Amino acid sequence: MGGKGQTLALRISGGIVAIVLLLGVIAPFIGYDPVADVDYEAQLLGPSWAHVFGTDGQGRDVAIRLVKGTEAFFLPGLLAAAIAVIGGALAGAVAGYLQGIGRSVVLGGLQLLDTLPRLVFIILLCTIMNPSITLIAGVAGLLFVPAIATVIRRKVEALGSEDYILAHVAHGFSPARILLYHILWLQCRPLLIRQATFVFGYVLFVETALSYLGDYGVQEPSPSWGNMVAQTRDLAGQAPWPWLFPALAIVVTIAAFLSFGNLLARRDEEAIR
């Protein structure tokens, strides 16, 4: 992709990401009662000025439910991304810097955590505990720590012998400053950005999938993009909009987060070089 094309793609994906995050921020402040919103006289109305995305089988406004549905993954996504990036960065930096038994302990813990298959473990957790989406997000973030830590560790090991790092050591800079600022922030930032957006998109996928299945995730009448698709999929032939708009929102949002993270990281990598 050329420079102009990459910039355009970055702006488009970044705009979608910004809109979704903004909706996640304002959604809790929108006065919405999913029970009071039911209006059987307004069932399956097509898109109009009164109902931009139409109404569903219970006469509920699809657009408002889409906005409220961002609550289901917004904070959990941020939580998972923070746990994965911070935990992975710190564990990788420590593993790359330490020698001897300390390094072995950290690597052993990461390898043990890495043996757990993410999606299978989350589904198993749901069948045993029926946990909240917040707990699921926390577990998802934790399961991404080993993958991030491995790449960060290799980066720390490779940069440890660079002349400018050795110069910082000679000037008396503390190991914490060298690791946190000169290596993690200045050199590993593109990787961390990419991973943060990927983890957020993964949590959105997990939340919508669990809500779609019905037994886990967000339950009706509270809206989730996943349960909005599940509740209206049988109406596809009669009125496509109640499931089409939530389905498009899921696909476009996940694609935007992945694309934005990759493009932003690529631009940062070029700037670092």
The residue-averaged pLDDT of 74-102 equals: 92
pLDDT at 273: 58
Summarize the confidence of residues 132-146 as an average pLDDT: 94
Q: Is 70 exceeded by the pLDDT of residue 272?
A: no
What is the C-alpha to C-alpha distance for residues 60 and 54, in angstroms, rounded to an integer? 8
Helix 186-213 × helix 118-129 angle, to 10°: 50
pLDDT given for residue 270 in this prediction: 67
The token pair at 238 is 């009669």
Distance CA 19, CA 150 (A): 33
Q: How far apart are CA 74 and CA 125, in angstroms?
A: 21
* pTM, to two decimals: 0.89
Average pLDDT of the residues in 47-65: 91
Is 218 a residue whose pLDDT tops 90? no
How many other β-carbons are positioned within 10 Å of the β-carbon of residue 3? 9
Local confidence band at 1 (pLDDT 50, 70, 90 cut-offs): low
Euclidean distance between CA atoms 52 and 114, whole angstroms: 45
Confidence of residue 271 (pLDDT cuts 50, 70, 90): low
Output the pLDDT for position 91: 93
pLDDT digits (tens, 9 = 90+) for 2-28: 577 788 999 999 999 999 999 999 999
Mean pLDDT of the chain: 89
Runs of H (alpha helix) within the chain: 3-26, 62-69, 74-97, 101-114, 118-129, 133-159, 163-170, 175-177, 186-213, 225-232, 241-272
